[in-house]
């Protein structure tokens, strides 16, 4: 990430909105913003699939569910945050990973310029490709500050996206069981 370029761009934005760059409280803002972007967009060039180590190779054909995984990302359309929670269920077919590894996948993929729809799909695709489970289901609920702070100005509005693969798509009973667990 080119932090110097970001600093120059932020200086230009501050000048364009009429901010006084000589003011003590604003003088370091370009540097702070560049550091912030480096931190919150650190997943931009990382391979999330590298997080999913196979820790067990055993028969387990029941749902594994992680719920309420906090996430935040930056909307690529307005560069404003969206904040929410991810719910991920999968049914292994011999390959099980550490629970924290799935949360790390969410973190890496969310720390990019992103849209919620693609984020939901990318999480499911990484899990399907690396773990080769019988199925995976990903649900994300998030508030988009580009809707809350600007435009329509409807704070508190949640957007829900879901992706279902494998047995969660083909078997309604399994899908309903996972949804029930996510809501409980």
Helical H segments across 41-171, by residue range = 99-110, 116-131, 145-148, 167-170
Phi, psi (degrees; rounded to nearest 5) at 57: -120, 90
Tell me the pTM: 0.94
57: annotated active-site residue? no
Catalytic residue among 15, 39, 76, 117: 76
Q: Band of the pLDDT at 26, cuts 50, 70, 90? A: very high
- Output the pLDDT for position 90: 98
Residue 60 appears among annotated catalytic residues: no
Residue 94: pLDDT over 90: no
Q: From the candidates 7, 51, 114, 116, give the one annotated as an active-site residue.
A: 116
pLDDT at 152 over 90: yes
- With beta carbons less than 8 A apart as the criterion, state whether 128 and 84 touch: no
Catalytic residue among 144, 172, 176, 177: 144
Instruction: Give every CB contact of residue 88 below 8 A, 6+ residues apart in sequence.
Output: 65, 66, 69, 102, 106, 123, 127, 136, 137, 138, 139
Q: Is 15 among the catalytic positions?
A: no
DSSP H/E element including 24: helix 24-27
* Mean of pLDDT over the chain: 96
Which is the catalytic residue, given 77, 117, 141, 172? 77
Q: Does 113 or 57 have the greater pLDDT score?
A: 113
- Is 78 in the active site? yes
pLDDT of residue 123: 98
Tell me if 174 sits within 8 A of 164, measured CB to CB. no
Q: Which helix (H) or strand (E) holds 138?
A: strand 135-144
Residue 35 a catalytic site member: no
Active site residue 146: yes
pLDDT tens digits, one per residue of 31-80: 999 999 999 999 999 999 999 988 777 778 899 999 999 999 999 999 99
Predicted confidence (pLDDT) at residue 120 exceeds the cutoff of 90: yes
177 is catalytic: no
Instruction: Exactly one of 7, 75, 114, 122 is catalytic; name it.
Output: 75
Q: How high is the pLDDT of residue 56?
A: 76
pLDDT category of residue 146 using cuts at 50, 70 and 90:
very high
Element (H, E) at 86: strand 81-91
- Alpha-carbon distance of 124 to 64, in angstroms, equals 14
The share of the chain scoring above pLDDT 70, in percent, equals: 100
Spell out the domains of the chain, with CATH numbers in brackets.
3-40 (1.10.286.10), 49-183 (3.30.1130.10)
């Amino acid at each position: 990430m080119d932090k110097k370029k970001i600093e120059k761009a932020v200086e230009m934005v501050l000048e364009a909105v009429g901010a006084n760059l000589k003011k003590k409280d604003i003088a370091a803002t370009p540097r702070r913003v560049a550091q912030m972007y480096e931190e919150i967009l650190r997943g931009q060039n990382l391979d999330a699939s590298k997080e999913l180590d196979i820790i067990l190779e055993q028969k387990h054909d029941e749902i594994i569910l992680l719920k309420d995984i906090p996430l935040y990302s930056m909307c690529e359309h307005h560069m404003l945050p969206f904040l929410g929670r991810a719910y991920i269920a999968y049914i292994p077919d011999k390959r099980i990973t550490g629970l924290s590894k799935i949360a790390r996948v969410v973190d890496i993929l969310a720390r990019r310029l992103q849209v919620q729809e693609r984020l939901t799909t990318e999480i499911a695709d990484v899990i399907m490709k690396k773990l080769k489970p019988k199925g995976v289901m990903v649900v994300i609920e998030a508030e988009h500050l580009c809707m809350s702070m600007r435009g329509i100005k409807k704070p508190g509005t949640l957007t829900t996206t879901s992706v279902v693969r494998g047995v969660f798509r083909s078997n309604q009973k399994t899908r309903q069981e996972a949804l029930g667990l996510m809501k409980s």
